[in-house]
């Protein structure tokens, strides 16, 4: 895929995320969310469904777009293309339904042959933050370039973690204990809000186990385009991914200390 093609697809993905933001803001704080529990116990609302439908519509309407789409709410559609979109319309639905503004939409373009993301977008509609980037192009935050430093000292940074329930599900409780015993500034900045802080450099690294592809592929593309590193390994939870990502030097140190990628 050429750089020109990537730039065009990145533009389309950003516009799709911004279009869905209108739907999401309409429902945020509403008493009529249509909240139900999915089979896996996670919550879903009318906003999730309508936002994904909006994103799919925009992605499919792009000139010459025939790419597959894998979405959290509607599953996989398409004919088996090498490159496919992944869509999480509201990453952080638990926060969304409680009126906590730390959630967002995540869109990625995944190369299924290489098994990695090449383009990513995270939009936080209430905070009005947009991260967009692609391989060979770089990452921006609200239009400003983001470049992570090569290394940062552990004692000088914050480490973010996903929910404790995710560590338990993935059998990584010991990782959580070792991390908190070693470092005094471990904070639970979860979901794509936490990811956005790492990509923007406000947080040094994050450990986030038991993720679906649509939860991590945008971050993978964004962090690597910003000069960082993502270590993704198969989770003990079937079909899911355990992720360690952030500043390159810090990720390498945490990977060694926790044996994260070799367990």
DSSP string, 188-252: ---HHHHHHHHHHTSSSEEEEEEE-HHHHHHHHHHHHHTT-EEEEEE-SSTT-EEEEEESHHHHH
Q: What is the pLDDT at residue 36?
A: 72
Residue 38 pLDDT more than 80? no
pLDDT over 70 (residue 189): yes
User: What pLDDT score was predicted for residue 87?
Assistant: 98
Question: Rounded to two decimals, what is the model's pTM?
Answer: 0.94
CA 53/CA 110 separation, integer angstroms: 19
Dihedrals φ, ψ of 202, to 5°?
-70, -30
Lowest-pLDDT choice from 28-32, 139-143, 203-207: 28-32
Instruction: Please state which of the ranges 133-142, 145-154, 221-230 shows the lowest mean pLDDT.
Output: 145-154
Q: Are strands 186-187 and 159-161 parallel, antiparallel or unpaired?
A: parallel
Alpha-carbon torsion, ordered 258, 167, 116, 53, to 10 deg: -160
Question: Per-residue pLDDT averaged across 149-171, rounded?
Answer: 92
Residues 6 or more apart whose Cβ sits within 8 Å of residue 22: none
Please provide the average confidence, as pLDDT, over all residues in the chain. Answer: 93
Kindly list the structural domains of the chain, giving each domain's residue range(s) and its CATH number in brackets, ordered by start.
3-146 (3.30.540.10), 154-258 (3.40.190.80)
Query: pLDDT at position 100, please?
Result: 95
> How far is it, in rounded angstroms, from Cα 86 to Cα 56?
10
CA proximity to 250, closest of 225, 223, 219: 223
Report whether 254 contacts 207 (CB < 8 A). Answer: yes
- Helical (H) or strand (E) element with 138: strand 138-141
Q: What is the pLDDT of residues 58-87, one digit of tens each?
A: 999 887 678 999 999 989 998 899 999 999
Beta bridge partners of 146: 139
Percent of the chain scored above 90 by pLDDT? 79
Indicate if the pLDDT at residue 233 is higher than 80.
Answer: yes
User: How far is the C-alpha of 97 from the C-alpha of 234, rounded, in Å?
Assistant: 30
- In the chain, DSSP finds a helix count (H) and a strand count (E) of 8, 15
Give the H/E segment covering residue 27: helix 3-27
């Amino acid at each position: 895929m050429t750089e020109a093609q990537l730039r065009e697809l990145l533009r389309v993905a950003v516009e799709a995320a911004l279009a869905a933001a209108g739907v999401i803001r309409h429902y945020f704080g509403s008493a009529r969310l249509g909240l139900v529990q999915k089979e896996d116990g996670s919550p879903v609302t009318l906003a999730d469904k309508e936002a994904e439908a909006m994103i799919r519509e925009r992605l499919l309407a792009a000139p010459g777009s025939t790419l597959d789409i894998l979405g959290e709410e509607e599953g996989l559609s398409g004919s088996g293309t090498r490159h496919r979109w992944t869509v999480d319309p509201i990453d952080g639905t638990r926060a969304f339904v409680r009126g906590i503004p730390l959630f967002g939409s995540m869109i990625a373009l995944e190369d299924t042959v290489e098994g990695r993301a090449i383009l990513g977008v995270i939009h936080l509609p209430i905070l009005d933050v947009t991260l967009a980037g692609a391989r060979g192009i770089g990452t921006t935050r609200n239009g400003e370039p983001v470049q992570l430093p090569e290394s940062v000292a552990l004692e000088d940074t914050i480490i973010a973690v996903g929910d404790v329930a995710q560590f338990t599900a993935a059998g990584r409780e010991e990782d959580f204990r070792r991390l908190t015993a070693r470092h005094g500034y471990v904070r639970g900045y979860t979901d794509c809000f936490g990811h956005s802080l790492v990509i923007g450099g406000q947080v040094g690294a994050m450990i986030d186990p038991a993720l679906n592809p649509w939860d991590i592929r945008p971050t993978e593309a964004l962090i690597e385009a910003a000069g960082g590193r993502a270590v993704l390994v198969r989770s003990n939870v079937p079909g899911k991914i355990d992720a360690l990502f952030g500043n390159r030097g810090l990720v390498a140190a945490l990977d060694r200390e926790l044996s994260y990628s070799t367990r």
